[in-house]
Amino acid sequence: MIYIVICLIVILLLILASCIKIVPQAQSYVLERLGAYQDTWSVGIHVKIPFIDRVARRVNLKEQVADFPPQPVITKDNVTMRIDTVVFYQITDPRLYTYGVENPMMAIENLTTTTLRNIIGDLELDQTLTSRETINTQMRAALDIATDPWGIKVNRVELKNIIPPAEIQNAMEKQMKAERERREAVTRAEGEKKASILVAEGEKESAILRAEAEKQSAILRAEAQKEKMIREAEGEAEAILKVQQANADGIRMLKDAGADESVLKMKSLEALEKVANGQATKILLPADLAGVASLATTFREVADK
């Protein structure tokens, strides 16, 4: 009898222990009483009624990621490709999540596939490959509205991979190769053009510098020649001045010595002799030719004596 009582007490304690629930952080428990929704338990300690209350679902409130396999889609220009998506979602209402849809993840996957096909069907191949951000935004908005009755909020949708057909990939690779070759040719041509321009500018500047140097050299030579001519002219003028000064001094000395007219005429004849010894082609005759003749007669008479 004692054993039966002990067993009943142990069973009762186990039942009471099972009725105490501790809800961890970032989770919620959906409680049902006699099969009907009763309450949503948040973080903390909760007690349920044995055999009447039960935890229908434990709901994770963290943001979760659903990675769906590639789905075939057809573009507006009838190109079939495969696209796989990644959906970031979070459960905001555990009650709606529990009772809103039978299989929430399958529902989200199917909804993602249909929404993606509707969006890609309005785009051509090139637009699909270059409009990822637009597609992501449209899909997130559509999924967020559709999953609100299920207590799910879609935070973000990303296109993970876009896989076009093999022939399209080959054509795209050829196009990319041709584009790279074109860019290389353009870059090489621009480099050669810039090099030619630099060489031409260098030759131009070199010619300008040579012309400037020749100009400065010619100016310096002309200035040197001019200075030389000036010095020669100054020397000749100085020599002439000295000769004239010497002649003037000689005449002044003759005059001071009391020379008569005969001596002066003799000096004139000496001057004519010097003139005659030069390279001149003109003949100079004195104005007093008769006086010169008489002077010559006087010299002859003196010589005869």
Q: Does the domain made of 2-60 have the CATH classification 2.30.30?
A: yes
| DSSP summary character for residue 260 | -
**What six digits make up the tokens of 149?**
């009755």
Q: Residue 39: beta bridge partners?
A: 31
259 HSE (CA, 13 A, CB side): 14
Using DSSP's 3-state secondary structure scheme, residue 53 falls into: strand
Strands (E), the chain: 20-23, 27-33, 36-41, 44-47, 53-60, 64-67, 71-74, 80-91, 152-163
Residue 9's CB: how many other CB atoms inside 10 A?
10
Domain boundaries, the chain: 2-60, 64-164, 268-305
73-99 tens-digit pLDDT: 988 888 888 999 999 999 999 999 999
Using DSSP's 3-state secondary structure scheme, residue 152 falls into: strand
Provide the pLDDT confidence category of residue 27 given band limits of 50, 70 and 90. Answer: very high
Residue 243 has pLDDT above 60, yes or no: yes
Q: Are 125 and 77 in contact (CB under 8 A)?
A: yes
Q: Considering the chain, what is the average pLDDT of its residues?
A: 81
Q: What one-letter code names the amino acid at 88?
A: F
Among 111-115, 119-123, 213-217, 229-233, which stretch is predicted with the lowest mean pLDDT? 229-233
Residue appearing with tokens 């002649």 = 247
263 HSE (CA, 13 A, CB side): 10
94, 92, 89: which is closest to 41 by C-alpha? 94
146-158 tens-digit pLDDT: 999 999 999 999 9
Residue appearing with tokens 């609100």 = 148
Q: What is the distance between the alpha carbons of residues 47 and 31, in angstroms, rounded to a whole number?
A: 11
**How many residues in the chain?**
305
Rg of the chain over all Cα atoms, to the nearest angstrom: 64
* CATH topology classification for 64-164: Tetrahydropterin Synthase; Chain A (3.30.479)
CA 164 to chain centre: 35
Top pLDDT among 197 and 285 is at 197
**What six digits make up the tokens of 11?**
């069973």
Residue 130 has pLDDT above 80, yes or no: yes
Residue 291 has pLDDT above 90, yes or no: no
Q: Note the pLDDT of residue 89.
A: 95
Instruction: Please name the residues in contact with 46: beta carbons below 8 A apart, sequence gap of 6 or more.
Output: 20, 21, 22, 23, 29, 31
**What six digits make up the tokens of 175?**
């196009």
Using DSSP's 3-state secondary structure scheme, residue 10 falls into: helix
Tell me the whole-structure pTM to 2 decimals.
Answer: 0.56
Greatest extent of the chain over all pairs of C-alpha atoms, in Å? 208
